[in-house]
Amino acid sequence: MKYICLGYINEKAWGSASEDEQKAMMDECFAYDDELRKNGHFVGGEALQGSQNATTISWRNGNVSVTDGPFAETKEQIGGIMILEATDLNHAIRLLSNHPSVRLLREKGCWEIRPAADLTMMIDESERRRKL
Amino acid sequence: MQNSPEYIRQLLSDIYQKESRPVFATLIRLLGDFDSAEDALHDAFKAALEQWTENGIPSSPRAWLISTGRFKAIDRIRRQSKFNPLQIQQVRQMEADTADPSKQIDKEIEDDVLRLIFTCCHPALALDTRTAMTLREVCNLTTEEIASAFLATSSTIAQRIVRGKAKIRETKIPFEVPQQHELPDRLGTVLQVIYLVFNEGYYASSGATVTRVDLSSEAIRLGRLLHDLLPSPEVTGLLGLMLLHESRRPARTTAAGDLILLEDQDRSLWNRDMIAEGTSLVEQAFLSKPPGLYTLQAAIAALHAEAKNAEATDWAQIAGLYTLLLRINPSPVIELNRAVAIAMHKGPEAGLLHIEAILERGELKDYPLAYSARAELCRRAGRTGEARISWERALSLTQQDPERRFIERKLQELGP
């Protein structure tokens, strides 16, 4: 089963860490990511640019609206996503609990785990409808 | 008549009391789903009522019920799944599973009960969901019983359970006992639920009467079950703690339901059997170092239990245990308790110094017991005016009728 992990980070607190601290942390995290890849648990993932570079698209007053900034202005912003392949939630929790970022970011961040929704049935039904 | 329908009905009702949870737990493991297991459980008991009258009582009712429940579930899925390839595949897999459940050793079935407990108390579930699910699925209380115990509506409790089961199914929370290195943390969420259930019965957070017997004894029953299955030190400590608290129940309130403080209780009313059992459990739990959260609290309760009266209590050791407790679980409420123990040991002024410091930090500014404790120590120190102000503050904060009457009595005793 696929588990999408949303990594939240307090950008201000992260930015105030020294360059050496940031580098040391990156080294540990990348090493663990490699381990996840090697064991077939890392399905995909990306780090995100800072929320100052976010653009929000929505529907406002009958038009598409494009605005600067993230959807929600909160202290923690999504800093990266990772898709894990795990047998069940306990397995996913175990894989993520060992991710160095959990320990190194301390209160400066957190991860949220959401299982991927299986839309196979919905897609099948939709395809049947569209062929009508 | 050995096989008369009346006899079988009575026998099955007894078996249901004793076996429905282990059978249910094993069916969850075999069928992989709470709802299917529940249907299968009912089907199995229904079939027993019909077949045992005809064919006699099987040598192992438990194994018969598990095996029959599993077959009924496979039947049910087959009937519902004519056109669903996924379910057909599931049925084939279940049929191919050659392990005959009736051959399963009791140890494995006990492990299923443990799996059920850990699944219902999974940390990914909210505390109130965990509590409702544990009482429903492990203790077999009805949603109505749970609702009335928690002064909630049945639909609220039912909804929590439905949501809990959905999260278990949809996020794939496995039906398993955590691995050894995860056990301390995961056991914590189980013990938290048991202690919450106990306290809800013992302290009844709101409403007219102080104690609701059912939840406390349910929690002790659950504690005993867990202790049989997994006798790790903190489980032992929690069971001891609950028994030691429970031993004081007959002395805690007046006939009219008013609270009696520990120091004013008639200690001859304390249940000696529970104290003996609780104390011996604490001693066992204390053998493992360092003692945990529940073991330390139980040790404090044991020191109270062995004392003839408040003056004869070993307050110095109690204050020391609270210090250890604060180290593993920093909490202003524990600090408050330690302040009271220090007051008993070294005099009211010494205790008041600590209470003032806690209140100044503001964490307990809405906690009535903090002001009650301050008031009582002020009275003992001869600071009557300050005592009155604190009692009045406590009175404005409390939400319990008995506590309110208690404070009003204390205010009267202070005089005009």
Residue A84 lies in a domain: yes
pLDDT at residue B155 in the model:
96
Residue in A with minimal Cα distance to B124: A89
Radius of gyration of chain A (CA): 18
Q: Using 50, 70 and 90 to split pLDDT, how confident is the model at B12?
A: very high
Phi, psi of B254 (to 5 degrees): -80, 170
* Coil, strand or helix at A77: strand
**CA distances (Å), A68 to each of A10, A47, A55, A73, in order?**
19, 20, 5, 11
Q: Is residue A11 part of a domain?
A: yes
Nearest residue on chain B to A4, alpha-carbon basis: B171
Query: For chain A, how many structural domains are there in total?
Result: 1
Tokens, residue B283: 């001693």
B173/A94 touch (CB, cutoff 8 Å), yes or no? no
Label residue B63 by pLDDT band (50, 70, 90): very high
**B299-315 mean pLDDT:** 94
In a domain, A68, yes or no: no
Q: Is B33 helix (H, G, I), strand (E, B) or coil?
A: coil
User: Using the beta-carbon criterion (under 8 Å), do B124 and A89 form an inter-chain contact?
Assistant: yes
The tokens of A98 are what? 């060992």
Residues of A with CB under 8 A from a CB of B: 1, 87-91, 93-94, 115
Q: What is the mean pLDDT of each run of 10 residues along chain A (132 residues)?
A: 96 90 92 96 94 94 93 92 97 95 89 95 94 78
DSSP conformation letters of B357-408: HHHHHTTTTT-HHHHHHHHHHHHHTT-HHHHHHHHHHHHHH--BHHHHHHHH
Whole-number Å distance between alpha carbons of B191 and A18: 41
- Per the structure block, which two tokens stand in for B217? 């004894």
Q: How far apart are CA B241 and CA B245, in angstroms?
A: 6
Q: What is the mean pLDDT of residues B218-224?
A: 95
Residues from chain B that touch A93, judged by Cβ atoms under 8 A, are: 124
The helix-helix angle for B401-413 and B384-397 (nearest 10°) equals 160
In a domain, A59, yes or no: no
Instruction: Tell me what the pLDDT averaged over chain B comes to.
Output: 90
Best probe of the A interface among B83, B171, B173, by most A CBs < 10 A, is B171
Q: How many structural domains does chain B have?
A: 1
Q: How confident is the model at residue B4 (pLDDT cuts 50, 70, 90)?
A: confident
Cα separation, B300 vs B290, in Å, equals: 15
Q: What predicted TM-score, i.e. pTM, was given to this entire model?
A: 0.86
Q: Which domain holds residue B48?
A: 5-104
Task: Give a yes or no: residue A104 inside a domain.
Answer: yes
User: Does the distance separating the beta carbons of B172 and A88 come in below 8 Å?
Assistant: yes
Domain that residue A88 falls in: 2-50+76-131
User: Nearest CB to A1: which of B124, B172, B182?
Assistant: B172
Distance in angstroms (rounded) separating the CA atoms of residues B175 and B52: 31
- Residues on chain B touching A112 (C-beta within 8 angstroms): none
pLDDT digit string (tens) for B189-213?
999 999 999 998 887 644 545 445 4
Q: Given this model, what pLDDT does residue A7 score?
A: 96
Q: Which chain B residue has the Cα nearest residue A93?
A: B124
Give the model confidence (pLDDT) of B387-400 as tens digits: 999 999 999 999 88
Q: What is the pLDDT of residue B219?
A: 95
**Residue B89 falls inside a structural domain:** yes
The pLDDT of B51-68, averaged and rounded, is: 93
Instruction: Please judge whether A89 and B172 are an interchain contact, meaning their C-beta atoms are less than 8 angstroms apart.
Output: yes
Q: Are B177 and B25 in contact (CB under 8 A)?
A: no
Across residues B150-169, what is the average pLDDT? 93
CB pairs under 8 A between A and B: 21
CATH number at residue A81: 3.30.70.1060
Please count the other Cβ atoms lying within 10 Å of the Cβ belonging to residue B149.
Answer: 19
Beta carbons of B174 and A90 less than 8 Å apart: yes
How many Å lie between the alpha carbon of A117 and the closest alpha carbon of chain B?
Answer: 9
Residues of A with CB below 8 A from B122's CB? 89
Contact A3, A84 (CB under 8 A): yes
Distance of alpha carbon A80 from alpha carbon A72, whole angstroms: 16
Q: Rounded to whole angstroms, how far apart are CA atoms A93 and A82?
A: 13
**Nearest chain B Cα to A86, which residue?**
B172
Whether A89 sits inside 8 A of B182 (CB atoms) is no
**Contact criterion met (CB < 8 Å) for A115 and B171:** yes
> Using CA atoms, how far apart are residues B383 and B352, in angstroms rounded to an integer?
11
Instruction: Tell me whether residue B66 is in a domain.
Output: yes
- B182, A88: Cβ pair inside 8 Å? no
Q: Which residues of A touch B121 (CB under 8 A)?
A: none
A116: in domain:
yes
What does the alpha-carbon distance between residue B313 and residue B318 come to, in Å, rounded to a whole number? 9
Mean pLDDT of B322-334: 94
Q: Report the relative pairing of strands A42-47 and A76-85 from DSSP bridges.
A: antiparallel
The reply to whether B79 falls in a domain is: yes
Percent of chain B with pLDDT over 90: 71
Structural contact between residues A79 and A46, judged by C-beta atoms closer than 8 angstroms = no
Cβ atoms within 10 Å of B108's Cβ, excluding its own: 13
